[in-house]
Chain A
Amino acid sequence: MVTAPIHNDSRDGSSSASGAAGSAVLVPGSSTGSPLGSKPGVSAGTGRPDSRPRLVRSRDPEAHPVPTGREEEWRFTPLRRLRGLLTGPAADATVEVSVDAPAPVTVEHVGSGDKRVGRVLTPADRVAAFAMTRAEDVVVVTVPAEAMPDEPVVVRVHGTGGTVYGHLVVEVGAFASATVVLDHTGTATFAGNVELSVGDSASLTLVSLQDWDAGAVHVGAHAARVGRDARFRSFTVTLGGDLVRLSPTVTYAGPGGDAELYGLFFTDAGQHQEHRLLVDHGPRSCRSRVAYKGALRGEGAHAVWIGDVVIGADAVGTDTYELNRNLVLTDGARADSVPNLEISTGEVVGAGHASATGRFDDEALFYLMARGIPADEARRLVVRGFFAEIVDRIEIDSLRERITAAVEAELGGAG
């Protein structure tokens, strides 16, 4: 069967984007990958275009319609495998949450009524709304202004089965700098939100590891708000689970914000791993980079990557580029990749995207083997090289090693 429905690579630079000055241009990147602005007639209205996601934003679950599976937001997701999360079943279990926080970082456990809940995230779907209203143990991590802890904050979430709602708030004060590692292991039917507030001129790195056991279901909204001249980097690493569906979003609170969103996933037989990104450029002169790379292996492995970037009418000087690469290792796997770029000003520094899904390069394998390297090792080298662009950026040695080892363990199972 054909396993790679999307195969495109478009690099849209500032020159083409600037031609769209003063009008709204909607570029549905998906499988065509057409250069920006090269499709006259797609949409050239005045005013703000209809932003595809974000139809309803509310913390009230009942404000969100129950999806049928035909909606754009849900069409890739196997709803039956959500274990009822869309109907908000009562929690019947807990996850073990432990937090290692170096001084002067503080950790609080509060209820969902705490005023810090919902400051950054307004749920865009029922699952996120349920997680926000039903989470009994909301963890609030605060990095005081100007603090620069040497060690990362580590939040471990270990599931022991059953349905659980979770909510994590991270607030980083102005001029502070911190790294937060969010480590999901075990198994659960888990609806978990993350809200990240990065203060002005602050810096936050988030590493979110989805290292679940085979049966886990995890649906999560990860919302970050990046302050003026602040920097946010995230690494979203999804390795396990039966179904993982994450929606990382970035908004900017002021000019000069910089967000880099990196992702790595290894989708094994029968797994559904979906990453739906939205970077919303509101203020001027912000920057975003998105790079997600995935490998797929085995019958029924399904990876979905949606990359939405919205550049508002006031977001002059925006510099954005997003990329998704998928490596299909075997027959029977499927990768969907849909980049979308929606631009309401042409006065940008750069706006582009690229998406490509390809099979394992047999010529690379031949080349390495022709130099004496055995097939298994050659395969490992190629896949490790494919992910190096992401993994090498992670500055925590132990995490880098753990991720590399996990990827190689996945490959080892290929036989």
Chain B
Amino acid sequence: MSTLEIRNLHVSVETDSAEGREILRGVDLTIRRGETHAIMGPNGSGKSTLAYSIAGHPKYTITSGTVTLDGVDVLAMSVDERARAGVFLAMQYPVEVPGVSVSNFLRSSVTAVRGEAPKLRTWVKEVRDSMAALEMDPVFAERSVNEGFSGGEKKRHEILQMALLKPKIAILDETDSGLDVDALRIVSGGIESVRAAGQTGILLITHYTRILRYVKPEFVHVMAGGRIVDSGGPELAAVLEDSGYDRYVKTTEPAGTAA
């Protein structure tokens, strides 16, 4: 049973001042393989910072706390080591890599994560089937990574990678943002099939509840002011749908000194 444990995580972001600005102020969260968690919260609450900190983006500095995967220190690993250890981040804004084809990129990535190059024959079929499940045209594989992709294509490409890499823990950062209803349905279907396989713990970061119509989390957390301020089951999402984040924002803002 793979487990990602986040304990008392404090994270600062680089700013012009020497100190940096503290974004996360003590996050605690445990995600086990097979579980689906949703983190919801207003803009600026630290949701994306949590995602990028776990993946190891150099912009963020961990000032205290721990992140472990099955007891192993994730924070001591380089970005690529984290990915190979089984941590996956589906990005809100996937980056363009001109001149590198999707097929070459996927093969390089899968080779690195699996530790050996996939056999050509099974690989071609695997990619084709995964793309078909996400309703992606096969010519997509010959395009440069994310270059000129529509918002929906970028998100489908992220979910395609997740399906191929079969991570232990997948963090999906606002994967639902910028998607129309059809694209949301397709992307959600991709997430659901990874979830149904039961091999991946999913952390779904979202601002809106609409993706939760398609992907049903067992756990819902509310993030505000750089902390998890409430946790519950799916019913919590329904409450947020009705009442919004106002009461969390009001109660947590003065609490910054507690860090």
Contact = CB atoms under 8 A, between A and B. Distances in A.
A371 B95 contact: no
Given A364-B96, A368-B97, A382-B100, A377 B79 contact: no
A372 to B, nearest CB: 4
Contacts of B98: 385-386, 389
A361 B145 CA distance: 14
A156 interface: no
A364 B95 contact: yes
A373 B112 contact: yes
Interface in A205-248: none
Contacts of B95: 361, 363-364, 366-367
A367 B58 contact: no
Given A374-B80, A374-B112, A385-B144, A367 B57 contact: no
Interface string A149-164: 0000000000000000
Contacts of B145: 367
A387 interface: yes
A66 interface: no
Contacts of A72: none
Contacts of A378: 80
Contacts of A363: 95
A366 B58 contact: yes
Given A362-B58, A381-B105, A369 B99 contact: no
A377 B100 contact: no
A248 B98 CA distance: 27
A381 B108 contact: yes
A277 to B, nearest CB: 22
Contact of A385 (B57, B99, B165): B99
Nearest to A383: B99
B81 to A, nearest CB: 8
Contacts of B57: 366
A253 B57 CA distance: 56
A381 B95 CA distance: 14
B78 A367 contact: no
Contacts of A372: 80, 83-84, 109, 112-113, 165
B94 interface: yes
B40 interface: no
A371 B109 contact: yes
Contacts of A385: 97-100, 144
A384 interface: yes
B89 interface: yes
Contacts of A384: 99-100
Q: For chain B, which range describes its interface: under 10, 10 to 19, 20 to 34, or 35 or more residues? A: 20 to 34
A375 interface: yes
Interface in B140-192: 144-145, 161, 165
A367 B80 contact: no
Given A363-B95, A385-B99, A370 B112 contact: no
A9 to B, nearest CB: 14
Max chain B Cβ within 10 angstroms of own Cβ: one of A370, A377, A387? A370
A375 B81 CA distance: 10
B91 interface: yes
A364 B112 CA distance: 17
Interface string B90-117: 0100111111100011001100110000
Contacts of B104: 381
Nearest to A376: B80
A400 to B, nearest CB: 14
B14 to A, nearest CB: 13
A373 B108 contact: yes
Contacts of B94: 367
Given A364-B96, A384-B100, A369 B108 contact: no
B55 interface: yes
Contacts of B79: 366, 369-370
Contacts of A387: 99
A384 B91 CA distance: 24
Interface in B40-78: 55-58, 78
A388 interface: yes
B16 to A, nearest CB: 18
A389 B95 CA distance: 19
A368 B100 CA distance: 11
B80 A375 contact: yes
B161 A371 contact: yes
Contacts of A371: 83, 105, 108-109, 112-113, 161, 165
18 contacts: A366-B58, A368-B109, A369-B78, A369-B79, A370-B55, A370-B91, A371-B109, A371-B112, A371-B113, A371-B165, A372-B83, A372-B84, A372-B165, A381-B100, A384-B99, A385-B98, A386-B98, A389-B99
Interface of A: 361-364, 366-375, 377-378, 381-382, 384-389
